[in-house]
Amino acid sequence: MSRPGPVRYAPATRRGTVIATLAVVVAGVSAFHHTVPNSPGRLGSLVESFLPWTGLFVVLLLVVALVRRSGVALVALLLPVAVWVHGFGGLLLPAPESAPGRRELLVVQHNVSDENPDPEGTARALASSGADLIALEELVVPALPTYEDVLGARYPHHTVHGTVGLWSKYRISEAQLADIRPQGIEEGWSRGLRAVVRTPYGEVAAYVAHLPSVRIGAGGLASARRDESARALGALVRGEKVRTVILMGDLNSTVEDRGLAPLTSQLNVAERGFALSFPTAFPVARIDQVLARSATVDHIRTLPATGSDHLPVAARVTLDATGR
């Protein structure tokens, strides 16, 4: 009777090769996401929409590497960790302290949902935030008087165009429709506005926008209309004569998505805070945005849930006296 041969184990370097390879792939996608082609199915935009979640893959690979006791894999994982920290680590830092005399505005952005069962409670929650500006989307006719009544007590100035509105503590000197309607959508579609707000720090051009929704299906990411609307909005911002601009809106994408490049290429994004805002039950992405020109979005955070499927976000914006 022959004796069984000795059990042979793969060398440690071989055991870690697959994990190390995956680590390099994750790092490459994270660092060079702009090179991922957008055709077919707008794959590049889809990857960029969930780019911060690459950190979860790194954690999973780390667990496997520890279980396999692979030094090679652990060393390789330093690469995606470094890429993630470089891209998103700053968002984890605490909000900077607010100093007296700073030219700051607190703004709140919220898609209140056209199916919100409690518009009064939502309006009261937003009013209690103490914001200087409140931007709302999905305002429907039956609920609009409720928002006007409740918010009007603290925000005497407001303007509504179509399904978007802006409430302000300060006087609004100009208000008009911002036409961001993609081709092929009916005339009644109105989801953008521009207003000039006379703040204590000077005029601010405030834009409120609700870009078209996207869908993920078998063919990939359906975002053509959103991208077209983003280009139209970007052209309006580019031609804006007022130096300081604050854009608030449900942009139906993250700031990493190339579909928002017409906006993020000329507006500052939040420097700190993840503020994942959608969906309320388990937020996976921040699609509710506050962007600015000649101003810095110091910090963005979510507020408690309302009757909407989005979480409200609040951002502290510091206006730039030098016109950066």
Query: What's the CA gap between 53 and 79, in Å, rounded?
Result: 16
Task: Express each pLDDT in 122-146 by its tens digit.
Answer: 999 999 999 999 999 999 999 999 9
CA gap 201, 313 in Å, rounded: 23
- Determine the number of helices (DSSP H) and then strands (DSSP E) in the chain: 9, 13
Residue type, 47: V
Which of 151, 173, 166 is closest to 105 using CA atoms?
Answer: 166
Q: What value does the mean pLDDT of the chain take? A: 92
Q: How far apart are CA 217 and CA 202, in angstroms?
A: 46
Percentage of the chain surpassing pLDDT 70? 94
CATH fold, domain 104-319, is Deoxyribonuclease I; Chain A (3.60.10)
In angstroms, the Cα distances linking 188 to 135, 163, 210 are 20, 10, 14
- Contact by Cβ (8 Å): 230, 259: yes
Model confidence band, residue 12 (pLDDT cutoffs 50, 70, 90):
low
> Amino acid letter at 202?
G
Residue 41 predicted with pLDDT over 90: no
| pLDDT tens-digit readout, 148-170 | 999 999 999 999 999 999 999 99
Least confident of 41-55, 188-202, 268-282, 301-315: 41-55
The pTM of the full predicted model, rounded to 2 decimals, is 0.91
Query: With DSSP H G I counted as helix, E B as strand and the rest as coil, what are the percentages for the chain, rounded to 5?
Result: 35, 25, 40
User: d(Cα 284, Cα 279) in Å, to the nearest integer?
Assistant: 7
Model confidence at 103: pLDDT above 50: yes
Q: Determine contact, residues 298/95, Cβ cutoff 8 Å.
A: yes
C-alpha 298/C-alpha 275 separation (Å) is 13
R_g of the chain computed on alpha carbons: 23
pLDDT tens, position by position, 243-282: 999 999 999 999 999 999 999 999 999 999 999 999 999 9
Give the mean model confidence (pLDDT) for residues 217-246.
Answer: 93
The residues spanned by each domain of the chain are 12-92, 104-319
Which pLDDT score, from 0 to 100, does residue 8 have? 54
Q: Which residue type sits at 141?
A: V
pLDDT at residue 4 tops 80: no
pLDDT at 323: 46
